[in-house]
Amino acid sequence: MRIALAGNPNSGKTTLFNAITGKTEVVGNWPGVTIAKKEADLKKKYKVNQTDVRIVDLPGTYSISPFTGEEVITRDFILEENPDVIINIVDGANLSRSLFFTTQLLELGIPVVVALNKNDIVSKRGDVVDVDALSKELNCKIIPTTATSEQGLSNLINEVVKAGKSNTTQSKTNFEGKNDKSSDTARQKFVNEIIKKCQVKKTDSAKITFSDKIDRIVAHKWLGIPIFFVIMWGVFTFSIEGLGGYLSEYFNETVFGEILPNAANNFFDGLGISPLLKDLIVEGAIGGVGAVIGFLPLIMVLFFCLSLLEDSGYMARVALIMDRYFKKIGLSGKSIIPMIVGSGCAIPGVMATRTIEDINERRMTTILTPFVPCGAKLPIIALFTAVFFPNNAWVGPSMYVIAIAMIIIGGLLLKRIFKWENASSFIMELPEYKMPSFKYAFSQMMNKAKAFIYKASTIILVFNTLVWFLQAYSWGLNPVEDQSLSILASIGTVISPILIPLGFLGWQLAAAAITGFIAKENVVATFAVLLAAASEEALHLPGGVLTQFFTPVTAFAYLAFNLFTPPCFAAIGAMNSELGSKKWLMRALAFQFSVGYILAMLINQIGTIIVYGETAVGFIPAIIITLLTAVYLVITIKKRGSMPTEVGVEA
């Protein structure tokens, strides 16, 4: 039996889904958290007569006719995949709005059971809903539930399974008018009548609430942006420099720097296996993967903080305060949500762009979101700041400031290159604030930790072993004494010339950057493998072995290069599906690569002149590249200027 969960945004579908399936899908207190269909089996605890039940969680929608991308998914599933029963989750605290969608669902010929959710909030407010009367009016079963504390859920599932087995559909309420408009009006009238009969409200929702008072501060004209920056700065410094950084240091130095390698060395020495195999395991696997896993605490702390933020209801407010500024660069206020989500991982970040209605704003957000440093890029930031800027706590967070600058500049450029005009209007529901759940944040953190370890022990381990092999063997598959004769060196040497204007001298740097496209953590792991021979010391010590390859200026440029060139392949895949056309994907990647390349080049060339008072290697090519780019931009923008504005057309 297949059961679909449908209802308004932020009515608690995913909370209910998690409760009855035991999953830990991401929930959040803003409309549009769920952007894809999620499926899972019903938990044993809720099973009725051993019936196998599959639950499908769908993105929230206010109506069966979709407004944004994720709502299309819901409509398509309900209309085309014929679930056996629909559980319509109705936000009890906003009954009159929710019933509009309910009446539409009731007409589909699929049994519907209504879960009257957020029952706790309703009773706290002192509002009363006459469930029996409502059930009679709508002609379907209604079960009061509180998904957060799992109340009423077994009752709900019982009714749902019963409805699915008997397969009797409710008699239809029919609003088919001459046209859409009159049928919608009739529907709205019908709902209003029902509300009058079945609901007694104690509170006037139009009164100023505590949430409104908080909004007047956090979304204040002048205070809004500074408060947002202070919060984000707090989250990132706490993750990178604070608790996360502190724990990571311990992991890196003690656990993966001494304890594990020593133990492994002793163990394998005792076994007496071949030294080559020992090197593969100790230097390749433990060294490389360990260099990445050492940063696990940093990522856990980051996700814990982000979870709290998402659960509080603040995200919708950030969209509201950013709207005015983002419109100027061709984005929507809603674009900030993919970007904040993207600071954890770019893949859900890019996917979250489908909540943006306007196609141009959506495309731009998809192209710009990967500029936000994601969790996988954190190890690179942490490594480079620890080695080159141990006394400058600002360098880590400065990457986020540069990310914001790149988003603004990128937005302005894209808007001119493709001549887009904002034709959209902004509307966002502001849910009431709630105390974020520490328990939930903790479970999300553990989830992310598991996923991270899984990634490190699969994709990163595999590539790391490959990197180890490529740097230890020649094309003739003979082990090499000198790394520079290895396969990896010859690959890196081919690519490294184009990186000279950026100050990245040596095939190692090219090789590390390339492995970063598989997964950004690979950059750190690759360095760990490549430099293991050069030094016994742990990779991340201040003034460590990396200083043979970088000056602080080129290190900063290298950071920028890895952060602002295209993201990992998985994120590129997400971009591909959101952009929906290969042409736009190519444009996006070309744009991202140019931005990362030119930014790193400018940092290197200008930085070298300012800091060391001399021109860097590749100064002349750098000037040529800069001039060519400037000429290209001027010509393209001029050419576009004389063309009519494109508004929301497909490529």
Question: What is the 8-class DSSP label of residue 146?
Answer: B
CB of 211 to other proteins, least distance (A): 7
Q: Which is nearer to other proteins, 41 or 429 (CB)?
A: 429
Nearest distance, CB of residue 332 and other proteins, angstroms: 9
Selection from 337, 333, 340, 336 nearest residue 375 by Cα:
340
Closest distance to other proteins from the beta carbon of 231 (Å): 16
- How far is 163 from 5, CA to CA, in rounded Å? 15
Name residues contacting other proteins, limited to 270-329 (CB under 8 A).
316, 319-321, 323-324, 327
- Provide the token pair at 279: 């090197």
Work out whether strand 38-41 and strand 54-57 pair parallel, antiparallel, or are unpaired. antiparallel
Answer yes or no: are the C-beta atoms of 56 and 4 closer than 8 Å: yes
C-beta closer to other proteins: residue 99 or 298: 99
CB-based contact 321:426 (threshold 8 Å): no
User: What distance in Å separates the CA atoms of residue 304 and residue 651, rounded to the nearest whole number?
Assistant: 39
CA pair distance 556, 551, nearest whole angstrom: 9
The token pair that represents 513 in the structure block = 């950057």
93 vs 456, which CB is nearer to other proteins? 93
* Nearest CB to other proteins, comparing residues 253 and 429: 429
CB atoms within 10 A of CB 582: 10
Nearer to other proteins, 103 or 385 (CB): 103
Q: Decide: 443 and 24 in contact? Cβ < 8 Å.
A: yes
H/E segment holding residue 196: helix 180-198
Piece in contact with other proteins (CB under 8 A), picked from 212-220, 293-301, 384-392, 401-409: 212-220
How far apart are CB 120 and other proteins at their closest, in Å? 16
Residue 557, Cβ neighbours under 10 Å: how many? 27
| Contacts of other proteins in 60-99 (CB under 8 A) | 62-63, 65, 67, 93-97
User: Residues 168, 171, 178, 206: which binds other proteins (CB under 8 A)?
Assistant: 206
By beta-carbon proximity to other proteins, the closer residue of 188 and 626 is 188
Q: Which of 388, 416, 410 is nearest to 564 (CA)?
A: 410
Closer Cβ to other proteins, 319 or 387, answer by number: 319
Minimum separation from the CB atom of position 62 to other proteins (A): 4
Q: Can residue 190 be called a binding residue for other proteins (CB under 8 A)?
A: no
Q: Fill in the per-residue mask, 418 to 447: x = in contact with other proteins (CB under 8 A), - = not in contact.
A: -------xxxxxxxx---------------
Q: Does 182 bind other proteins (CB under 8 A)?
A: no
Considering only 205-213, 242-250, 392-400, 448-456, which stretch makes contact with other proteins by CB under 8 A?
Answer: 205-213
Euclidean distance between the first and the last CA atom of the chain, given in angstroms as a whole number: 41
- The smaller minimum CB distance to other proteins, of residues 121 and 280, is found at 121
Give min distance, CB of 550 to other proteins, in A: 42
Judged by CB under 8 A, does residue 356 bind other proteins?
Answer: no
In the complex, the smallest distance separating the C-beta of residue 435 from other proteins, rounded to whole angstroms, is: 18
Based on CB atoms, which residue is closest to other proteins, 100 or 517?
Answer: 100
Q: Cβ contacts of residue 134 below 8 Å, gap of 6+?
A: 142, 194, 198
CB of 647 to other proteins, least distance (A): 11
Instruction: Examine residue 107 and tell whether it contacts other proteins (CB under 8 A).
Output: no
> Among 186, 378, 233, which residue's Cα sits nearest to residue 291?
378
Coil, helix or strand at residue 12 = coil
Pull the structure tokens for residue 463.
Answer: 């590539």
CA quadruple 155, 159, 162, 166: dihedral, nearest 10: 170
In sequence order, the 6+-apart residues with CB closer than 8 A to the CB of 159 are: 113, 141, 143
Nearer to other proteins among residue 59 and residue 492 (C-beta): 59
Is 185 near other proteins (CB under 8 A)?
Answer: yes
Q: Which of residues 450-509 bind other proteins (CB under 8 A)?
A: none
Strand partners for 144: 116
Q: Please state, in angstroms and rounded to a whole number, the distance separating the CA atoms of residues 479 and 22.
A: 50
CB 182 to other proteins: min, Å: 12
Choose the stretch contacting other proteins; rule: CB under 8 A; options: 184-192, 236-244, 345-353, 485-493: 184-192
How many angstroms separate the CA atoms of 170 and 15, rounded?
27
Name the residue nearer to other proteins (CB basis): 216 or 450.
216
Cβ atoms of residues 316 and 31 within 8 Å: yes
Per rule CB under 8 A, count of chain residues that contact other proteins: 41
Which residues of this protein are in contact with other proteins, per CB under 8 A? 62-63, 65, 67, 93-97, 100-101, 180, 184-185, 188, 205-206, 208, 211-212, 215-216, 219-221, 224, 316, 319-321, 323-324, 327, 425-432
